[in-house]
Chains A and B, each alone.
Chain A
Amino acid sequence: MDLGKVGALRSHWTTPADSLSDENCLDRLRNYWKALGVSDSNLALALSEQTLRRLPEIPENEDSKTAHAIIAAGELLDDWLATALELPRPSPELTAARAALLSGVTPDWPTALFAPPGAAGTALERLRAAIAKPAPAPSPSAMPTQRIALFSLLGLLRRWWPTSINA
């Protein structure tokens, strides 16, 4: 696995992590990366630090910094996935790809995602194959609302009335 690739995919991620002092945040992030399937502690730590560097790019909300960082971790993962699988971002396909990644179909996904170019072919193919497609491409058709003329005594009289007058 090329650990350097973790931070090398996008140049702006190399900004110094000014929040590394926040140990709690780093701990939570490391746990989160583990929950995402990163079993290597060193890699989890490296990814957490990378996440914190990425943090300033994510639009802030009123939640805590750690919650904000968790969202940033997902964004980071999406960036790598988008690059590796050449998917537009943001897109439903990318979210589906992340789901496939986390499903367990490629247990060694960090190896595959951070492998040198050309070295992760099989794993990426497996991942591509596992991306769920919930619906086929649309093929829209019109379904006009039908008219049902219910029986009406008044309507019947209306129809009958002019005829009887003419008669």
Chain B
Amino acid sequence: MAQFPRPSVVGHTVRRFVFFLLVILTSLIALGLLVSVFQPNGFSPMELLLLFLYMILFAWICISFWTAFMGFWVILFGRDRWAISRQPPDIPPDSATSPPRTAILMPIYNEDSERVFAGLRAIHQSLMDTGQLDGFDFFILSDTRDPEVWVEEELRWQDMVWSLDGKERIFYRNRPENTSRKSGNLEDFCTRWGGRYRYMIVLDADSVMQGQTLVEMVRLMERHPRVALIQTPPVPVNRESLFARILQFASSLYGRMFTAGLNYWQLGESNYWGHNAIIRIQPFLDHCGLPKLPGHEPFGGEILSHDFVEAALLRRAGWEVWLAYDLEGSYEEIPPTLIDYAKRDRRWCQGNLQHLRLAFAQGFNLLSRLHFLMGVMSYAASPLWLLFLIATGVEAFIQTQQELVYFFGENWMPVWPVSFAVEMTTVLLVTLTMLFLPKLLALLLLLKEKRLRRAYGGMFKASLSVTLETVFSVLTAPVLMLFQTKFVLAILMRRAVGWPPQQRGDHQTGFVEAVLTHGGHTLIGVAAGTLSYLYVPAFFWWFTPVLLGLGLSIPVSMLSSSIALGRQARRMGLFLTPEETDPPKVLQDLDEYLQEDEPVLPVLRKTASSRFLQALTDPYVNTLHRSLLPESESPSKRRRHYLEGLIHQLEEEGPDSLSSMQKRELIANPETLLRLHALFWSQPPLNNDGMLLENRRAG
């Protein structure tokens, strides 16, 4: 349990009471309006289904709306006395205690090494600028399986150590087996070196954090010993495609309001988003060893979205988890295209759906259960919306088939049908308000601060950007709805997802890729549009935003992936973010390191066609790689035979005949690696390293 449990604070309870009261009241009012429409003629099964779906979906929207509203309120008045950054220290600073050591962890998996190490160097430089670098160590925790990337990482690490004089401060290791993926990677760090550090700051491969922010995170942890985890809100940056720039703008402008709102009601029972967070290592060790869930994938087995579960386990043990929404200088990068965004969703979807089982497990706090359910709803909402739209269409069709009867029984006066247009319009308006008002509120907040207003390109440009972003989100929402519905259904049908690495760099969507991905969406849009136009014409016009999104999905996906359009929009002052208008030094450094990639290590200055071959042929790369291999037992006889076979295959058929995994196996064994090196150098000399093996294959 936490050493310094805090007694419950009345103010916290009041905040949560107010928040949930507003959510429940708003949901009930909207539901009441819809019931009043359906009730007079009794409830048909279809109407009951519509009511049920509307209740869930509206409650979901309400949580989001009131979170944004609370965030608006907090930022507007600037008086959040319970923000973790504004709370007085729980204990007076103890000068006798040794200064904390913090490990900055970057778990990576087949990532672009150049970008990973440029990011780390920028963070390192930023920390050095604070003068507090001595309190931090850097760990590159590689789970990379691709042998080319593996060797490249090692060289980049060595280069970073050299150029930054980072011996004994910048460390690298590649796990022989990537058991339990990212959570296993972190667990491996904690169990090996956890005892050396009081805190760890977990990054993602595309994370960038300012040194001052890192120092502040440590300071906050020191002041509040009951806190086990502080999450910072990462702001998306650095992408140039139109799609990514629109998302960066939206996340930046609306995000700060939403995170302030989340902190308003979550307080010390906040959540963990997996990166850009500081964690107290001892409670993490004590309480966050993740079990395997009973049963098979997709709902059983390893816990995929480990971050939510770790936060819940820390809360279960009495520790506090905070979202430091007002800490700036925390950045991440987002997928550059709509298709990449959907692919990322595919990976996250299974992990979040798995949480459905955990939401009802014993011992978790009420808010932790809500976090689990919100995670589930972030994907389950899509099939529910789709079902709702279909049910609405069917209900509208049924209504058109009914003949109106004006005379009942003995009545000689006609009984005019009652119109519920007012109620229905109110329901629609309330729903739309809930969806779009937060965008307006975020815009209004710009009026408060001149600095921010300028950073977003001025009030006019910011307003125009919000309008265009709204149109874009309306167009893409139906596409994402279909994507996520497909993912949810695939997972329910027990089709597990793999662990593909993300394609993070800017790149454009081609016509073939767009047609293959969105062809189905377009067809569905055309079919739904035709059916509704023919059979329920009144419904068709209400349905047009969804139909347009689906019908235009191919051009929207292609155009939004355009880097040229993204840059053009930037030149026009559209979708600007403060990080674009006035980039912080850490981002400028990152950009500089990426532009002027001038490694100190001679071997990195030369272009190599294959790092794998270089590991076999180049005496330095070969030795460096061997020096970084973990000590292991001598392979079994069977294993030796297997490796022997791979050596012969490489000799006779060339490197292209081997799979990536086979290449990895060859260079993961020090003896094999040395033998291959010796075999290469025992052959007649060639001018170009690696040509021998490549030539042999060609022959």
Interface residues of A (CB under 8 A from B): 28, 31-32, 35-36, 61, 63-64, 66-71, 74, 92, 95-96, 98-99, 102-105, 129-130, 132-151
Contact = CB atoms under 8 A, between A and B. Distances in A.
Contacts of B358: 148, 150
A70 B677 CA distance: 8
A102 B627 contact: no
Interface string B332-369: 00000000000000000000000001101111000000
Contacts of B679: 63-64, 67
A121 B4 CA distance: 54
21 contacts: A28-B682, A35-B681, A70-B678, A95-B627, A99-B626, A99-B627, A102-B620, A132-B627, A133-B168, A134-B157, A134-B173, A136-B193, A139-B193, A141-B190, A143-B191, A144-B286, A147-B291, A148-B293, A148-B358, A150-B361, A151-B357
Contacts of A95: 623, 626-627
A148 to B, nearest CB: 5
A142 B294 contact: no
B555 interface: no
Contact of A143 (B285, B619, B628, B674): B285
Contacts of B631: 92
Contacts of B572: none
B131 interface: no
A28 B677 CA distance: 13
B675 interface: yes
Given A129-B167, A148-B291, A142 B191 contact: yes
Contact of A71 (B362, B363, B674): B674
B678 A63 contact: yes
B681 A132 contact: no
Contacts of A134: 157, 171-173, 627-628
B195 interface: yes
B289 A144 contact: yes
**From A35, A96, A150, residue with most partner B Cβ within 10 Å:** A150
Interface string B303-335: 000000100010000000000000000000000
A132 B677 CA distance: 21
B287 interface: yes
A132 B362 contact: no
Given A28-B685, A146-B289, A151-B361, 17 more contacts: A63-B682, A67-B678, A67-B681, A67-B682, A70-B681, A70-B682, A99-B626, A102-B623, A103-B603, A132-B624, A132-B627, A135-B192, A139-B192, A140-B195, A142-B285, A148-B363, A149-B361
Contacts of A151: 357, 360-362
A99 B360 contact: no
Q: Interface size class for chain B?
A: 35 or more
A66 B685 CA distance: 13
Nearest to B159: A103
A105 B624 CA distance: 13
Contact of A146 (B162, B290, B601): B290
A157 B527 CA distance: 49
Nearest to A29: B681
Contact of A99 (B187, B286, B620): B620
B602 interface: yes
Contact of A61 (B157, B357, B675): B675
Contacts of A64: 679, 682
Interface string B610-635: 00000000011001101110010000
Contacts of B362: 149, 151
B41 to A, nearest CB: 38
B194 interface: yes
Interface string B671-696: 00011011101110100000000000
A150 B187 contact: no
A67 B675 contact: yes
A145 B191 CA distance: 12
Contact of B171 (A71, A104, A133, A145): A133
Contacts of B190: 141, 143
B623 A138 contact: no
Contacts of A148: 291, 293, 309, 358, 361, 363
Q: Which 7 A-B pairs have the closest CB atoms?
A: A139-B195, A151-B360, A66-B682, A70-B678, A102-B620, A67-B682, A95-B627
Given A92-B627, A145-B290, A138 B361 contact: no
A100 to B, nearest CB: 9
Nearest to A95: B627
B682 A139 contact: no
Contacts of A150: 293-294, 357-358, 360-361
Contacts of B628: 132, 134
A69 B291 CA distance: 51
B144 interface: no
A133 B169 CA distance: 9
B60 to A, nearest CB: 22
Nearest to B677: A70
A99 B194 contact: no
Contacts of A102: 619-620, 623-624
Contact of A98 (B194, B281, B601, B623): B623
A151 B299 CA distance: 14
A140 B192 contact: yes
Nearest to B317: A146
Contacts of A146: 287-291, 313
B137 interface: yes
Given A63-B682, A70-B682, A133-B167, A141 B194 contact: yes
Contacts of A35: 619, 681
A91 to B, nearest CB: 10
A73 to B, nearest CB: 9
Nearest to A25: B682
B685 A99 contact: no
Contacts of A136: 137, 168, 171, 193, 196
Interface string B625-649: 0111001000000000000000000
A133 B171 CA distance: 7
B635 to A, nearest CB: 14
Given A31-B685, A150-B360, A145 B173 contact: no
**From A67, A143, A145, residue with most partner B Cβ within 10 Å:** A143
Nearest to B647: A63
B445 interface: no
Contacts of A28: 681-683, 685
Nearest to B284: A143
B171 A141 contact: no
Nearest to B618: A35
A132 B361 contact: no
B158 interface: yes
Contacts of B682: 28, 63-64, 66-67, 69-70
**From B288, B290, B357, B619, residue with most partner A Cβ within 10 Å:** B619
Interface string B448-472: 0000000000000000000000000
Contacts of A133: 167-168, 171
Given A103-B601, A136-B171, A130 B162 contact: yes
